[in-house]
Structure 1
């Protein structure tokens, strides 16, 4: 029997012909944003709770409880974290159009097809139509985030063409040290899933884009050089960043939150070139600069908004700030006052 913990999402009632896994599977496919936590006692259930990937699971060591599993469904994106209480083997193939970025906690016996994760900072990229054979020892944690492959690769190639321009047709292992960052993203989204599920559905597309961009920056991390640029490099950087600034402003006018990959495409440079340019232009990363621009736009809106007809939350979310506690701290650090004080100063 499988025990389901409904910490953040109540389960619908089952019919006599349904299992709990059937209900969770249907909800995960149909829901725009839903999270489930499950203590699993059957390997078939562990596979059934991931209906977006065809797989079979086999328990390979003793234990009444096989795994604890957390899943967050955001429409076409899935965040999955599994803690194995007993060893398991997973066999399957990714469907057309779906790719994943994943990790496992360091374990000498872990195997992802032909790769191991003896390094604690290994991450794996698995493209569409890829057969996999995974062995996870008891006591280890694995996690992955799945995306539409076309969306992922389009932005990845804009951010780091040298790494991602070639067709991705097989499992890739990356030991560049990005596993902690990916684990932090998984933890963050699962931890905040209850709050996110209460947001209006109009924000769902922005949430999808936010998750994609967070993972893209991990997958395309290039370690930009911090040496001082020459005058020629500064001149080139100035023109790149002026173009980027114009594009950012145009997006704001249209109520669009630009992403780093979209800026790279609009300006016609890789993320590494954009990183170099912004270091020379304003001595900060493009992501930090974009966040500062968004904070400034929020401040401008709060300064002219009537507190009787609008709220800080509404304006913050308009510019992509969904985690309001962090937003309030960043805002006060930037401007020396809380956003509510700015709004209340309306005359």
Structure 2
């Protein structure tokens, strides 16, 4: 049985929560109204989603357990990092089920994600001539493939999905054909002779610095460390931190870390009752104590005052 739908959003947190099976948070880093699209298709052994967001976001979460998760960039219009690795439009992304991840997505990027049931994927992999080589290759979160081969595979993948989108009566036979077509394209990329099976792409120092600052800031929300304090903890210069954020996220450390905390406020507001938590209480939870300054910064980032952000109609738990 197939489940297929296309959605459009004006809030990245609703967008992130709508992606089936994925436990993740998106944080908007660039200012302005967010506009995004999300196509999802679910079959018995596969989940596909295609997303595009007009703002720069950082995605953080855990890949679905019991799955093998691939992503194909359709367009890469700016600095992009997956698990600390710099990527381009000839990079295949891969995550093991249950693996934590951080992904820096530039403004306007479009991404196609394909997730397979692990057992089914491994059975298909075992039937290939280079199963052991591919298994070693899949220890990498970013896999470089032939640019020409990748372009051709991307076009075929999109064509397969376009046909599925217009077929409202996808029976079990055609559904299995769709699954095999998606899996076959990815396996062909990995077994292609032009794909170096020994490649290794270590995480960059700059990405490590940004990720560490991100984690320290969200772990200590009330006593938020300053940029100078982060420099001292990481034992690096302020210029090194500045250059790291410019390279990885195309912004300053101050703007990045403040934006991440403002996104935390927004998520908390949207999933709590106004009668349970005031805007001031939520802001304080995330280290904002001057309400007038906080409201200005919030509006500048989201094009909306915090008082206009929809609150939950029933109490739910927010993810930090």
Please, what TM-score do these two structures have when normalized by structure 1? Answer: 0.50
Work out the CA distance in 2 between the residues paired with 1:155 and 1:76. 12
Give 2:3's match in structure 1, choosing from 34, 39, 43. Answer: 34
Work out the CA distance in 2 between the residues paired with 1:124 and 1:213. 16
Cα deviations by residue, 1:161-188 (Å, 9 ceiling, x for unpaired): 3522449455242243343234224421
Q: What is aligned with 1:251?
A: none
Structure 1: 5+ residue stretches without partners: 1-31, 225-347
Q: What is aligned with 1:113?
A: 83
Structure 1 residues 56, 126: CA separation in 2 closer, same or farther (over 3 Å shift)? same
Q: What is aligned with 2:103?
A: 134
Q: What is aligned with 1:179?
A: 150
Structure 2: 5+ residue stretches without partners: 196-320
Work out the CA distance in 1 between the residues paired with 2:96 and 2:48. 16
Secondary structure at the counterpart of residue 59 of structure 2: strand
Work out the CA distance in 2 between the residues paired with 1:158 and 1:172. 23
C-alpha RMSD over aligned residues: 2.5
Q: What is aligned with 2:67?
A: 98
Q: Does 2:180 correspond to 1:209?
A: yes
Cα deviations by residue, 1:212-257 (Å, 9 ceiling, x for unpaired): 2232222322259xxxxxxxxxxxxxxxxxxxxxxxxxxxxxxxxx
Q: CA offset at residue 112 of structure 1?
A: 0.9
Q: How does 1:257-268 map to 2 (within 5 A)?
A: none
Tell me how many residue pairs correspond in the alignment. 192
Q: CA offset at residue 40 of structure 1?
A: 1.3
Q: How does 1:242-261 map to 2 (within 5 A)?
A: none
The structure 1 segments of at least 4 consecutive aligned residues displaced by more than 6 Å after TM superposition are none
Contact 1:39–1:65 (CA under 8 A) maintained in structure 2: no
Work out the CA distance in 2 between the residues paired with 1:143 and 1:194. 14
Contact 1:152–1:216 (CA under 8 A) maintained in structure 2: no
Q: How does 1:1-347 map to 2 (within 5 A)?
A: 32-104=1-73, 105-117=75-87, 119-159=88-128, 160-166=130-136, 168-169=138-139, 171-177=141-147, 178-223=149-194
Q: CA offset at residue 108 of structure 1?
A: 4.2
Contact 1:153–1:164 (CA under 8 A) maintained in structure 2: no
Q: CA offset at residue 206 of structure 1?
A: 3.5
Structure 1 residues 55, 70: CA separation in 2 closer, same or farther (over 3 Å shift)? same
Contact 1:130–1:170 (CA under 8 A) maintained in structure 2: no
Q: CA offset at residue 145 of structure 1?
A: 0.8
Contact 1:121–1:175 (CA under 8 A) maintained in structure 2: yes
Contact 1:102–1:142 (CA under 8 A) maintained in structure 2: yes
Cα deviations by residue, 1:83-139 (Å, 9 ceiling, x for unpaired): 12111111011132111221322344111121122x331111222221110111112
Secondary structure at the counterpart of residue 197 of structure 1: coil
Secondary structure at the counterpart of residue 58 of structure 2: strand
Q: CA offset at residue 209 of structure 1?
A: 2.6
Structure with bigger RCO (C-alpha 8 Å, 6+ apart): 2
Structure 1 residues 156, 186: CA separation in 2 closer, same or farther (over 3 Å shift)? same
Q: CA offset at residue 77 of structure 1?
A: 0.9
Secondary structure at the counterpart of residue 79 of structure 2: strand
Work out the CA distance in 2 between the residues paired with 1:113 and 1:182. 23
